Chains A and B, each alone.
Chain A
Amino acid sequence: MTRPGLAALPLAAWLLVFLAWPAVYAVRLAFTDPAGGAFPSLEPFRALAGDPLFWRAFANNALLPPLVVALEVVGGLALALLLAGRLPARRWLRTAVLVPFALPEVVFLAIARHLLAPRGYLNGVLAGFGVEPTPWLAPGHATAFAAVVLVDAWHTTPIVFLMLLSALAALPREVEQAARLDGAGDVRRFAYVTLPLLAPTLAAAILLRGLDALRIFATPLVLTGVEGVPVLSSYAYHQWSDQGSDGAAAAAGVVLAVLCVLAAIPLLARRSPA
């Protein structure tokens, strides 16, 4: 074996033991009858199909990522455009924007939970204006879904913001100056110059965050529990942890993996040079 081949051996062994083997094991578990141990069997998938919570998780997993990513792209772009300019104290403002992402996820979500709890800070502020308390995170309320979308977007918008801010800094000034000399206003310069030049970075941000958002887990779980706004990963965790159904958990994981692959194909196709 060549020297580079030998050097790659530890990595290959690591991937085999800690990635390939658990993945194969999980797939096998997903196709094993939990009662009799027969393989292959679709029993775990039949159990999922008969569980209304699974279908809610599936629907939420299809709805949440586009909404979250759309908010992040719009918010991240707006913040990047605003803070790329020569604002006073812009370094402080940039730091403030990054704080939610810099905080450990559980800490950030615990803060959000205290903010949105029935006797939380938000309802406390609203009470000051004479507004009745709202059960923001109560299961079955549209506010719980909206809260998950907003909090998750709030937490991860800094990623999109950082990507776009660095892309804006790298844009060639000459093109914009030429457009300005030709009489293009702010809106036209943004629509016809800045945005097209940012398109590759925007596409990369959407690809990165789109795939990541499919695996959304902690935000709905910490804010609303499994039953509030279920998603496939929190549903799999529920089956594994609360119900002790390893097979159903693995089957839900397989469904999520298939969903990720299906979503990645068109996103990657758009990114290809062809």
Chain B
Amino acid sequence: MTAVRALLVATLLAAACGRSDRITVALAVLPSELPAYRAVVSEWERTSGRRVVLVPQGYGDIRRAIAAEAAAGRGTIDLVELDVYSLATAAAAVRPFDPAALAGLTDALDPAAVRAGSIDGLRFLPHRLSWAALVWDATVLDRPPDTWSDLLAVARAHPGRIGFKGARYEGLTCDVLPFVWSAGGRGDVLDDAGARAAFELFADLAPYLHPDSATFKEPTIAEAMARGELILHLNWPTVMTTYTALGLAPGRLRSAPLPRGPAGRATVLGGAYVAIPRNAPHPDAALALVRWVLGRGVQARLARELGWFSPRTDVPPASDPALAGFVAMRGAVRPRPERPDYAALSRAWQDAFRDVAFHGAPPEAALAAAGHGLRGGRP
């Protein structure tokens, strides 16, 4: 029995000692992206002498994990990647970066993306950017719709074959906001002229939407497009990587800029940010890894090998023809509205869209009803 106890203690000590040079990173990478990212990180391991444990997880799980570690007062995770949508919720669980420690780095990053990561100080650094564009079927359409009226004409000519990610979730808000912005709306209120114009368009499009639009999310709408049920929808660049792997892009399925509205084009900023949790056991090593990963060489390699859009302004996007539409939208990217009650605002956009598109509600009434609970509809 004594021997067993001694062995147990020795094993625990060995594990504890072994952990001192190991840093744990929770990332929301796809299984197909992990080997390439792993290869990139292994170079840093060689130069730093530290071992990096990459834990691929969903954004929601990462956010809950760091919240739990913050509540517990001690942690095991050194670096996390979070969806831009969850930054405000996760802010209390991560530590602000020391501006001096990031000297020279933040200047090279997209200023709007850096601004989106600043919540009571710079707590999140953009790791990879993403934004929505149009995905269209070149075997059915000669060219993608360039304006709202083109979009409506396509919808009328092909009833049931255009889709929105209409499930009640953040993805729907990301489909709605570009239209509100392209009509001159602010996006943080539901009662301006831009919002009304966008919702008039949604009401016109409603009879021609794919019947499953009310439940579509990213994977299901992409699947319907691959099956040939849809001829266009809005999605993120990752969908083109999948289509390319399936041999559907850039031949049959292509990307294009979102249709131009009365006030131009706009799309919503997505992507992932890195942060160091409040109770990270090795914050200095995590910071060194952040600096390395956001360096120009590594970012160029990630763009080339994984098709990621870098937050660095000096790293051009990969020259992948499947991503041409996304690249063309880069200048029209906008961050989501900054409101303390953003989750409620987002839910209001979702409810208003669903009322108009799936329940036949008049746009103005739907917007008024959805905005009712939002502190008078204004921030």
Contacts and interface: CB of A to CB of B under 8 A. Distances in A.
Chain A contact residues, majority secondary structure? loop
Contacts, number: 60
A225 B227 contact: no
A224 B215 contact: yes
Interface residues of B, number: 23
A118 B159 CA distance: 13
Nearest to B166: A227
Contact of B211 (A138, A225, A227, A238): A138
Given A225-B167, A238-B168, A244-B89, A118 B210 contact: yes
A140 interface: yes
Given A117-B224, A119-B228, A243-B347, A225 B216 contact: yes
B212 A118 contact: yes
A244 B85 CA distance: 11
Contacts of B160: 118
Interface in A213-240: 224-228, 238, 240
B215 A226 contact: yes
A225 B210 contact: no
B220 A225 contact: yes
Interface in A131-151: 135, 137-141
Nearest to A134: B211
A238 to B, nearest CB: 7
B60 A244 contact: yes
B215 A228 contact: yes
A228 B343 CA distance: 23
A227 B89 CA distance: 25
Interface string B157-169: 0001000000111
Nearest to B161: A118
A67 interface: no
Given A139-B214, A225-B215, A244-B60, A53 B168 contact: yes
Interface of B: 60, 86, 89, 160, 167-170, 210-212, 214-217, 220, 224, 227-229, 343, 347, 358
9 contacts: A117-B227, A118-B210, A119-B227, A225-B167, A225-B212, A225-B217, A227-B168, A228-B215, A242-B167
